Each structure stands twice: as C-alpha cells, then as structure tokens.
C-alpha cells in the first residue's frame, strides 16, 4: 500500500470532502459502485499568486460561505454523539471539525471537549465517496451480479408498492418483514420506519438481541438492562474494572474520562484475553482465557465469602440471598406451598430475630427491624409435609466451594495470586465501578459471565451509590420521542393502541410518583409476544433463514436436549415472538437502516435459504453495502449533514444533539421520512387503482391499504418535506431537556438532559439527580428501598425456572465455551473495529490508510510460527461450518490459542467475496428462549435469544 505522511493525512482529511467528486451517473445503466482500492489523489488547494505573508497560504487553502452545527446520527453506542462544525461552500461540505463548545457538566470534572473521533472527522469523505448511492437503483441481473439500472423515484416506488400490495393481499401483512437495522437512531429514521410499519402492519424485527447488545445476564439479575450513569461517575470511583471490553476502540470520545479518573487517583484494571488497546492505559492487566470469565468471578466470590469480605447488610436488604429455597425441589418456598390458593409469587425468608418464617415484602426493601438469615437450614410445614429449606446464600456458598484460585486458574488461565489480588481489591475498594461494554452477549455463555460479574460487585457492596456499581447499559432518551410513535394521534390499530396507551399511562403515573413499579414492567413484558410490537430477529434469521441448520449442530455436548427441542418448546408455549410463523413464507424484506448480510452471523445461509423465498428486497442506504448488492432496489438516503435530525437516545453523555440540514441531499437522495411518505402515497394510489383496499391485520382486525398515506402523514398534517418536524417533536415535547425550542437546540447543537423524564427506555434506571450532579443509577432501590423489577423484588441471583434448573444455572455458574464449528485448536474471537461505526466506514479509503487496508486475522507469533506463517501471509481459516481466505497480522498482544477477527468487514472486501461469517456457527443458548416466568418474558431489546460468535473454533493453514 502506498505510504502517506502524517502531515499529508491531516491535510487530506481537512479537505477530503472538497477534493472528492460525485460518482458518475452516465446514462441509465451503471455498474455497482465499489469502494476504491486507494484514496483519490489529493487536490491541490488554490493560493494567491503573490501571498502577502506565509499565513495566507493556510488561510486560502480552503474557503467557505457559511458554517453549521451538526453531528453524525449513527449508532455509535456508548460514544453517541459528537458535535461538529461544518463549513459549506457552493452547497458542499468542504471541511468538518470538532466544535468543542460543550459546557462543563459537573463541577470538579473536566469538560467533555473536544468530542469526536477519526470516523467523524472524515464523514464528509464518506458522503462524497465513490461508493455513495445517489439515485434509485433497480437490479438488472441476478441478485448479487452487480448489474443495475438507474430508475426514477416514481418507477422504483411504484414497482415496490405493487409488490408489497401483492405480498400483503396474497400472504398477509406478516409476510412483509422490516429490518429497522442498527444505524437509524435519529428521529428522522426512527419515525419513518415506525410509521410505515404501523400503517402497513408489517413485522418489525428487534435487532438488539440479534447483534448481541442485549446484556442477557443483567436482564435476568436486575430485571432490566438500562441504568443511566454519566461519565463523571468515574471520578467518584477508586477502582474501575474494564472487564470484557475495549473502550479505547469503542468509546474514543469518552476514554479521556478514564485517563482523567486515573490521574485523579482511581486504579484501573483491564481483564481480557488479549493485551488490548485499553490495557496499555491501565494499572493492571488480568489475562483470562476467552469465555471463561465466570470461573474467575466465582473464585473471587469464594475468596470474598471465605474471608468474609462481603457487605452483609446490603445482601440482606437488596438481594435474594436471604430468600428460602426448598432442598427437595430446588424451588423458592412459595405461599402456594403452604396453603391452598396461596400465591406462587409470595416468597419467604427466615427472620433470625423472631426465629420464624417471614413473608418477603413485595412493596419495600426496608427491613423494618427484621434480620433475614443468610445462613442455616430450617424445617417448614408445607401442604406436602415437612421440607427443609435454606437461604440462597447457603446454596451460593456450596456453588462456589470448588472454585479455589488454583482450581479457577486451571480453567481460566489467570494466575492464582492475581485472582486473590483482584478479589481483595474489589472487596476493599471504597467505590468500584465497571466500564459498560457490549461484549458479553456475543459469547455463548455470556449471560453466565455477566451474572457472575454482578455477583462479585454486589457481594463487595458496590451497588447504587456514587461511583459504585455494575452498570450494564447507560441509556437515556428525550421523552418527547414518544410523539414519534403517534401515541396520541390514533396511528396505532385499536387493539395495539389500547395496549400501548395503557402501558404508557401506567408508566407515566408511576414515574410521577417515582417508585419503580414492577407491575408496569411485568405488564409490558407479558404482553410483548401477543402485542406483536416487534419480533425476534434472531429467530427470524435462524428459522426462516436456515442458520438453525448450522446453529443446532453438536457444538455443546453438555446440553440435555437438542437445540431444536428447546426452540420448539419455546415457540409452542409462546415464550418468544417469531413472525411470520414457520408455515408462512416471507415474501418481502424492507431493510431500513441496516445491513443484515454483513451483520448477521452465518449470513451466507440467508443468501442460500431466505433470499430465494423473497419476492422483494428493498434496501435504504447511503452506500453500496453487502446487503444492497443482493437487493432488488436500492433507495438512496440522505447523509447526516443533509437532513434535520435529533438524538432518539443517548448513552453516558448527558446531552441530546439536534441539527438542521447543513446542505441539500446529494443527487436524488432523500431523507427517510420523505422516502416513507412517497412510498406510502404509492401504496395508497396503487391499492385504489387495483381495487385492493381491505386486508386482515396481524391481530385479526380489519385494515385498509387505501388509507396508508393518510395514516402515515396524519391526513396530510406532515408532508414529505417535513422531516424536521420529527426532530422538533423530539426536542419540544420532551419534559427532560433544558430547552423548549428546536431552534435553540439546533442552533447550539445540543440540549442538556435534566431528568429521567417519562420515556419507557429510561424506566429501569430508577434514579434522579440535580443539575450539576453526576447520575448514579438505582438510587430508588438502594436509597428509597423500592423493589427491583424481578420476581423477588431484589437483585436476583437465584432463578428457579425449570430450564435454569435443568441446565444447572439456577445460580451464576461456569459453563465451558462450546466448540462452535468443531473441535479445532484455535478460538476465533472478535471485537468492535476502531476504524468504522459498524460497516459504515469499513471501506472508506482514509480509514483503510490507518490500518492494513484489507481484512486481516490477528494471530500470536507463537501460533503462527508453529504453522510456518509469517506476517501478511495468506491463510485459509476453516472449520466444520465453512472456510474463508484472509491475510495474517502477527501481534504479540494476542493470546496463544486465540485469533482475533475484528468486525464489520463487508464480504466484498474479502478474496472471492467469502467473509469470516462463513465459519460462525452461532449456536443458540436455550436460556435465551426462556419465558412464562414472572419478569423473564421477553421485552424489546432484551430477554430474547441472541447470536454469538466469540466461541468459534477454527484451524488455519498457509495458502
């Protein structure tokens, strides 16, 4: 690859947008736009013939007509979003730079300036790149052939409308499936996808568990996955654990808070298999074999219990560890065990003061003078006779008894002395916190690992106080976004409208009186499947897409039943939401802001099994992605600088961003809202012309196709050019922002979050704060003694669901990683790339310059030498599932026995178009299918089966 100096790169980034040219649009036919193999030549900036001074050479390198505040409304997860100042000349972005105008959010804590990363600094180059799609494209040859013709919007939308009508009338609306994707998180894309889905009553997939961001361990331990926590909380911590993550890659704009907290006195520890980019900035690195962190955590728990380094008061009050379990059935002792007609949800503990059985209060955590026993064996008279019971704490002691540091070391590879050191550090810390990551859902037994991680934090007393606690996802949202769903405007169908309005009303009432209502959370989860609000993306891809044929392989011999048996039972019991049902053929796939053929593990199976079933595949995107290549129509979407938008949610950063369009959309591209309006109009027009008006909705109600546009636009209240109205609604209807107008928010680029508000997403954070304070999650539980949204009303470590008992995971347990893909010597793990947000910039020439420029597999020198492999050799990676060719990058930071394939490479970037997803078996963890148990039913974004990839076993050989 040609070299480039640092100075040339910096200059090129600043002028890349101006230097780039629009893709050629010659005639009505065009070949598929592929990413260039190298960056375009840098255009020399003009300068005056006789500059007055050397400074003028810099002043005249670029000029602008005006500036605008903007950001990139991509799904950057924990680093969402960053304010940029963009410079416009002749209607084009010619420069973008970090705005650095944020205020200090908390006294005594450094301000957040300047936020931004290398992806944001080159977004203009992406907007004007050679693989940008600027006109509607219709497939001309076979899918994937790369043969396209440019067509008018009218033709494309008319043909799409007819095919959607055919699917709905002939097969039903559940044969039309929408993948909302993972990148459309701004209000414009959010509103467009939701309104179209409601109007045509199609299936909407829930991608969060599928991409494995669903935090499965926290979902069953806390009863939810969201705990609002702001970055400044780290300044109250004296110990910070980066456990199962790499924030130096995934949280670039936020990482300075960690380094500053370390400077402030905190000790930071990284726990990971490889010596990653975060480890080099921390005080201590704890190595662990991939997927065995639960063994490490259980050994830590044993040491804490043996040395009595646990917070007994917190365990009695906040956890289920005092609750009684029957030794004969291994089930909680319930009121239904003691008397006829008793509740199956009233649980018991032993009051050591009274030496008597006591009911566990359902509406408060306050002990009120009682002393729940943590230890002991007691005899209780039940309807079936005398039974012995023990507190969960006793069962926990037995569970961790085998896990001495030496025994754990033999499994996880962490030296015993390091295990002891880490356990004592955590137990003796004044306030310990974790760095939120999205890794563990991508490990087959990641739920068990996360449950064990939470266990050691809670044992040590780190929960719900400043700087202390394990937080799974730090999310907040402006509560004005509920307006995007048409909640008060009658967009929803009557049955669903009643259900959702009831839920929102309950939630609002609850939040106004503040205590976390377990009843509300439970009501939402229990009606999740029947409400048909969204369906499991994992099950759709697995069952309709054929991935199950690989996922159900013999990868985990410890399972007492086959994967297919567990899936069959979960669906028969209606624990999970699969749409359409197995006996129906999906006919149309609408990909709104996603890339499933790149994103889904084992996606090659989708091309082989699902794609032939589909009569229509439509992709809305700004660029030619892996999925777009196999679409029937590609509709060009406006880029971030080209449309108005507002943050639909944020993470640890307490500012919501808002922006107006800085420039007009390029070519014929349109924002998502306009595309939706025009498509809805075509559906309505064609339905009337064809005399096909009525259809039966997915819930059995009567629906109409000749009013689709009216529903989407509220009888014309919102026109096709009104995308800014949805950004305005997000800001101006919010009760938890410090601005009242969209003009103010977009003018400065941001609005400050002032409270949790009334949004559903914020509910389980269970906290409040004053302006100028950091946010500490779960205060309503620890400070106000309000119950957690679990069966016990406490942080729940014991789960007596039949499947958890069957699989030996009623308590946090270690499960050996399955040999997914076969019994091969190397474990292929992964990670989030440093150089792209999902796949958006994976083919960006400037980002490719910062790495090897093409996909590569990170291999330890030891493993490479044993196979005669040198740096940058071509190898074949293979297992029982498939194979792919790739280059090798040697790295001493990689653990022997492990190879690392960072995510988001498009298949077309691999030799022969065969990518690394071809070897991923992604077996289903049966516990992800569980339901029919209080608080374990699925909800949007959690308690659904995920898709894993970090347990993949492979062999490599030199080509």
Q: Could you report the per-residue pLDDT of 701-748, keeping only the tens digit for each?
A: 999 999 999 999 988 888 999 999 889 988 998 888 999 899 999 999
pLDDT for res 188: 83
Q: Could you report the per-residue pLDDT of 523-547, keeping only the tens digit for each?
A: 777 777 887 889 999 999 999 999 9
Angle (deg, nearest 10), helices 723-732 and 672-690? 120
* HEC-encoded secondary structure of 799-859: CCCHHHHHCCCCCCCCCCCCCECCCCCEEEEEECCCCCCCCCCCCCHHHHHCCCCCCEEEE
pLDDT for res 765: 84
Residue with tokens 């796949």: 839
3-class state of residue 863 by DSSP: helix
Taking residue 771's Cβ as centre, other Cβ atoms within 10 Å add up to 12
pLDDT for res 486: 47
The mean per-residue pLDDT over the stretch 558-574 comes to 97
Residue 202 backbone dihedrals phi, psi, to 5 degrees: -85, 170
3-class state of residue 575 by DSSP: coil
Report the alpha-carbon distance of residue 366 to residue 124 in Å, rounded: 56
Residue with tokens 């001495």: 404
Residues 233/205, Cβ–Cβ less than 8 Å: no
Residue 487 scores a pLDDT above 70: no
pLDDT for res 761: 65
Burial 200-239 (b: 16+ CB within 10 A, else e): bbbbbbbbbbbbbbbbbbbbbbbbbbbbbbbbbbbbbbbb
Predicted structure pTM score: 0.92
Q: Percent of the chain at pLDDT above 90?
A: 76
pLDDT for res 203: 97
Residue with tokens 């680029």: 749
pLDDT for res 29: 38
Q: Could you report the per-residue pLDDT of 834-849, keeping only the tens digit for each?
A: 999 989 999 999 999 9
What DSSP designation does 542 have?
Answer: I
Residue 571 scores a pLDDT above 90: yes
3-class state of residue 568 by DSSP: helix
Burial bucket for residue 70 (CB in 10 Å: 0-12, 13-18, 19+): buried
Report the alpha-carbon distance of residue 520 to residue 416 in Å, rounded: 45
Q: Residue 295 has which token pair? A: 């063994």
Under the banding of pLDDT at 50, 70 and 90, the label for residue 492 is very low
Strands 137-139 and 874-878: unpaired
Lowest mean pLDDT among 7-11, 103-107, 257-261: 7-11
Lowest mean pLDDT among 493-497, 549-553, 765-769: 493-497
The number of angstroms, rounded, from the C-alpha of 194 to the middle of its chain's C-alpha atoms is 18
Residues 683/695, Cβ–Cβ less than 8 Å: no
Strands (E) across 560-678 are located at: 588-591, 616-621, 633-636, 645-646, 655-659
Least Cα distance to 815 among 378, 298, 398, 78 occurs for: 298
List all residues 6 or more positions away from 834 whose beta carbon is below 8 Å from its beta carbon: 248, 249, 252, 277, 851, 902
Mean pLDDT, the chain, integer: 90
Q: Could you report the per-residue pLDDT of 86-122, keeping only the tens digit for each?
A: 999 999 999 999 999 998 878 788 888 989 999 999 9
Under the banding of pLDDT at 50, 70 and 90, the label for residue 581 is very high
pLDDT for res 526: 76
Q: Residue 926 has which token pair? A: 């049966």
Under the banding of pLDDT at 50, 70 and 90, the label for residue 455 is very high
291 to 234, 272, 441, 731: CA distances (angstroms): 27, 10, 11, 42
428 to 241, 422, 703: CA distances (angstroms): 14, 10, 62
pLDDT for res 22: 35
Under the banding of pLDDT at 50, 70 and 90, the label for residue 759 is low
Residue 861 scores a pLDDT above 90: yes
Taking residue 442's Cβ as centre, other Cβ atoms within 10 Å add up to 24
Q: Could you report the per-residue pLDDT of 777-801, keeping only the tens digit for each?
A: 999 999 999 999 999 999 999 999 9
Under the banding of pLDDT at 50, 70 and 90, the label for residue 52 is low
Report the alpha-carbon distance of residue 272 to residue 133 in Å, rounded: 40
pLDDT for res 49: 52
Under the banding of pLDDT at 50, 70 and 90, the label for residue 611 is very high
Helix, strand and coil in the chain, % to nearest 5? 35, 20, 45
Residues 240/457, Cβ–Cβ less than 8 Å: no
Helix or strand run (H / E) with residue 162: helix 153-171
First-to-last alpha carbon distance for the chain, in angstroms, is 21
Report the alpha-carbon distance of residue 325 to residue 328 in Å, rounded: 9
Report the alpha-carbon distance of residue 108 to residue 386 in Å, rounded: 60
Helix or strand run (H / E) with residue 121: helix 118-121
Higher-confidence position of 490 and 275? 275
Residue 804 backbone dihedrals phi, psi, to 5 degrees: -65, -40
pLDDT for res 753: 87
Q: Could you report the per-residue pLDDT of 596-606, keeping only the tens digit for each?
A: 999 999 999 99
Q: Could you report the per-residue pLDDT of 895-953, keeping only the tens digit for each?
A: 999 999 999 999 999 999 999 999 999 999 999 999 999 899 998 889 999 999 999 99
Residues 394/377, Cβ–Cβ less than 8 Å: yes
pLDDT for res 480: 78
Residue 318 scores a pLDDT above 90: yes
Residue 493 scores a pLDDT above 70: no
List all residues 6 or more positions away from 917 whose beta carbon is below 8 Å from its beta carbon: 598, 600, 601, 602, 603, 604, 907
Residues in the chain: 959
Strands 883-890 and 856-859: parallel
The mean per-residue pLDDT over the stretch 272-290 comes to 98
Q: What are the counts of helices (DSSP H) followed by strands (DSSP E) for the chain?
A: 34, 32
Which residues are bridge partners to 323 per DSSP?
Answer: 349
- Domain locations in the chain as residue ranges: 6-127, 312-398+788-806
Under the banding of pLDDT at 50, 70 and 90, the label for residue 11 is very low
Lowest mean pLDDT among 206-210, 226-230, 584-588, 631-635: 226-230
pLDDT for res 2: 43
Strands (E) across 236-300 are located at: 239-243, 267-272, 284-287
Residues 595/626, Cβ–Cβ less than 8 Å: yes
């Amino acid at each position: 690859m040609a070299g480039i100096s640092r100075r040339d790169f910096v200059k090129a980034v600043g002028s890349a947008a101006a230097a780039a040219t629009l893709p050629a649009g010659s005639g009505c036919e065009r070949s598929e736009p592929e990413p260039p193999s190298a960056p375009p030549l840098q255009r020399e900036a003009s300068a005056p013939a006789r500059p007055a001074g050397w400074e003028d050479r810099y002043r005249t390198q670029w000029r602008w007509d005006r500036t605008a505040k903007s950001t990139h409304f991509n799904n950057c997860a924990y680093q969402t979003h960053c304010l940029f100042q963009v410079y416009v000349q002749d209607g084009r972005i010619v420069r973008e730079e970090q705005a650095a105008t944020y205020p200090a959010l908390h006294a005594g804590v450094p301000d957040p300036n300047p936020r931004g990363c290398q992806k944001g600094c080159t977004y203009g180059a992406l907007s004007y790149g050679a693989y940008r799609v600027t006109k509607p494209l219709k497939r001309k040859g076979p899918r994937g052939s790369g043969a396209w013709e440019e067509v008018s919007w009218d033709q494309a939308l008319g043909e799409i409308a007819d095919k959607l009508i055919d699917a709905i009338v002939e097969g039903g609306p559940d044969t039309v499936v929408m993948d909302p994707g993972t990148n459309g998180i701004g209000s414009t894309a959010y509103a467009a996808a939701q309104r179209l889905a409601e109007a045509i009553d199609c299936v909407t997939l829930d991608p969060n568990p599928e991409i494995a961001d669903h935090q499965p361990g926290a979902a069953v331990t806390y009863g939810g996955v969201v705990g609002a926590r702001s970055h400044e909380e780290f300044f109250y911590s004296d110990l910070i654990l980066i456990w199962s993550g790499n924030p130096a890659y995934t949280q670039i704009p936020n990482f300075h808070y960690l380094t500053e907290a370390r400077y402030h006195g905190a000790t930071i520890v990284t726990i990971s298999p490889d010596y990653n980019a975060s480890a080099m900035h921390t005080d201590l690195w704890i190595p662990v074999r991939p997927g065995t962190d639960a063994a490490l955590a259980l050994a830590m728990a044993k040491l804490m219990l043996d040395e009595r380094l646990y917070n007994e008061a917190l365990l009695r009050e906040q956890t289920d560890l005092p609750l009684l379990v029957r030794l004969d059935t291994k089930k909680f002792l319930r009121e239904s065990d003691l008397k006829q007609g008793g509740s199956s949800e009233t649980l018991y503990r032993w009051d050591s003061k009274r030496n008597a059985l006591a009911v566990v209060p359902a509406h408060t955590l306050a002990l009120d003078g009682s002393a729940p026993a943590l230890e002991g064996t007691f005899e209780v008279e039940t309807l079936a006779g005398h039974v012995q019971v023990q507190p969960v704490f006793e069962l926990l002691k037995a569970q961790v008894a085998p896990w001495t540091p030496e025994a754990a070391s033999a499994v996880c590879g962490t030296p015993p002395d390091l295990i002891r050191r880490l356990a004592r550090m955590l137990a003796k810390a004044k306030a310990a916190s974790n760095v939120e990551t999205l890794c563990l859902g991508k490990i087959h037994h990641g739920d068990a690992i996360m449950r064990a991680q939470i266990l050691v934090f809670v044992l040590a007393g780190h929960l719900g106080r400043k700087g202390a606690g394990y937080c799974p996802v730090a999310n907040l949202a402006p509560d004005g976004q509920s307006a995007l769903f048409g909640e008060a405007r009658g967009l929803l169908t009557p049955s669903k409208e009643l259900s959702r309005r009831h839920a929102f009303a309950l939630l609002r009432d609850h939040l106004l009186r503040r205590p976390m209502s377990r009843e509300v959370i439970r009501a939402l989860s229990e009606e999740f499947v029947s409400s048909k609000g969204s369906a499991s993306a994992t099950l759709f891809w697995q069952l309709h897409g054929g991935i199950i044929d690989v996922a159900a392989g013999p990868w985990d011999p410890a399972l007492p039943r086959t994967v297919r048996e567990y899936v069959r039972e979960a669906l028969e019991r209606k624990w999970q939401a699969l749409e359409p049902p197995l006996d129906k053929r999906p006919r149309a796939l609408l990909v709104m802001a996603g890339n499933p053929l790149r994103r889904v593990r084992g996606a090659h199976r989708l091309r082989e099994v699902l794609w032939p079933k589909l009569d229509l595949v439509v992709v809305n995107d700004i660029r030619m992605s892996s999925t777009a290549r196999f679409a029937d129509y590609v509709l060009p979407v406006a880029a971030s600088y080209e449309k108005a938008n507002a943050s639909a949610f944020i993470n640890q950063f307490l500012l919501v961003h808002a922006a107006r369009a800085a420039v007009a959309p390029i070519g014929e591209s349109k924002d998502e809202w306009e595309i939706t309006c025009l498509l809805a109009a075509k559906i309505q027009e064609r339905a009337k012309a064809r005399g096909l008006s009525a259809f039966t909705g997915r819930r059995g109600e009567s629906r109409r196709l000749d009013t689709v546009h009216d529903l989407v636009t509220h009888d014309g209240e919102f026109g096709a050019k009104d995308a800014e109205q949805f950004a305005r609604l997000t800001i101006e209807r919010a009760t938890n922002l410090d601005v009242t107008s969209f003009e103010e928010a977009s003018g400065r680029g941001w609005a400050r979050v002032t409270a949790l508000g009334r949004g559903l997403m914020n509910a389980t954070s269970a906290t409040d704060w004053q302006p100028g304070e950091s946010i500490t999650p779960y205060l309503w539980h620890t400070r106000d003694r309000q119950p957690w949204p679990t069966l016990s009303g406490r942080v729940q470590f014991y789960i007596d669901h039949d499947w958890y008992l069957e699989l030996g995971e009623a308590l946090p347990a270690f499960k050996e990683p399955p040999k997914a893909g076969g019994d091969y010597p190397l474990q292929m793990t992964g990670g989030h790339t440093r150089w792209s947000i999902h796949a958006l910039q994976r083919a960006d020439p400037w980002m490719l310059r910062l790495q090897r420029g093409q996909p590569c597999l990170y291999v330890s020198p030891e493993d490479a030498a044993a196979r005669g492999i040198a740096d940058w050799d071509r190898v074949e990676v293979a297992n029982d599932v498939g194979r792919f060719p790739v280059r090798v990058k040697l790295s001493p930071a990689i653990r022997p026995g492990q190879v690392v394939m960072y995510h988001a490479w498009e298949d077309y970037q691999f030799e022969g178009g065969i990518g690394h997803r071809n070897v991923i078996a992604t077996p289903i963890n049966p516990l992800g299918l569980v339901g029919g148990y209080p608080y374990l039913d699925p909800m949007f974004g959690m308690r659904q089966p995920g898709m894993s990839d970090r347990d993949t076993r492979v062999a490599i050989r030199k080509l």
